[in-house]
Amino acid sequence: MTVRAMSYNCTQRLDGCVGLLVVHLMPENWMENDLWIEKLDIGIVYQGQGMAGTSLKVLNHLIRKGRERVYLDGEAKAKLLEKYDYKCGKCGARGALEFDHIARVSDSHSEQGIDAFMPSCIACHAEKTLLEFRKHEDDELSSHFEKVVWDQYVLTPRSPPLVYKAKELDVAGIAGCEIVDVRRYRMNALLNNSHEIHMFCPLDSIVERTSLELGDLCFVTKKYTSCITQLGYTGPGWMHRVQA
**Residue 219 pLDDT exceeds 70:** yes
- Looking at the fold, whether 162 and 244 belong to one and the same domain comes out as yes
Question: Which domain covers residue 29, as residue numbers?
Answer: 5-64
The pLDDT value given to residue 19: 86
- Looking at the fold, whether 151 and 237 belong to one and the same domain comes out as yes
- Looking at the fold, whether 116 and 210 belong to one and the same domain comes out as no
- Looking at the fold, whether 149 and 212 belong to one and the same domain comes out as yes
Cα-Cα-Cα-Cα dihedral of 121, 127, 132, 138, to 10°? Answer: 70
The 10s digit of each residue's pLDDT in 22-74 is: 887 888 888 999 999 999 998 888 888 888 889 988 888 887 766 667 788 88
User: Is 0.75 topped by the overall pTM?
Assistant: no
- Looking at the fold, whether 105 and 148 belong to one and the same domain comes out as no
Q: Which of 29, 45, 64 is the last residue of a domain?
A: 64
Q: Is residue 183 part of a domain?
A: yes
Is-contact 224 233, C-beta < 8 A?
A: yes
Q: Is residue 136 part of a domain?
A: no
Q: Is residue 69 part of a domain?
A: no
Measure the CA–CA gap between 51 and 57, rounded to whole angstroms.
Answer: 10
Q: Which of 18, 35, 64 is the last residue of a domain?
A: 64
When computed from its CA atoms, the radius of gyration of the chain, rounded to whole angstroms, is 28
- Looking at the fold, whether 208 and 160 belong to one and the same domain comes out as yes
- Looking at the fold, whether 172 and 232 belong to one and the same domain comes out as yes
**Residue 107 pLDDT exceeds 80:** no
The 10s digit of each residue's pLDDT in 4-21 is: 778 888 888 888 888 888
C-alpha 86, offset from chain centre: 40
The pLDDT value given to residue 180: 64
Handedness of CA 218, 219, 222, 227 (dihedral sign): positive
Q: Which of 109, 131, 153 is the last residue of a domain?
A: 131
Residue with the bigger pLDDT between 225 and 24: it is: 225
- Looking at the fold, whether 51 and 79 belong to one and the same domain comes out as no
Q: Is residue 190 part of a domain?
A: yes
The 10s digit of each residue's pLDDT in 114-144 is: 888 889 999 998 888 877 655 555 566 677 7
The pLDDT value given to residue 87: 92
Q: Is residue 89 part of a domain?
A: yes
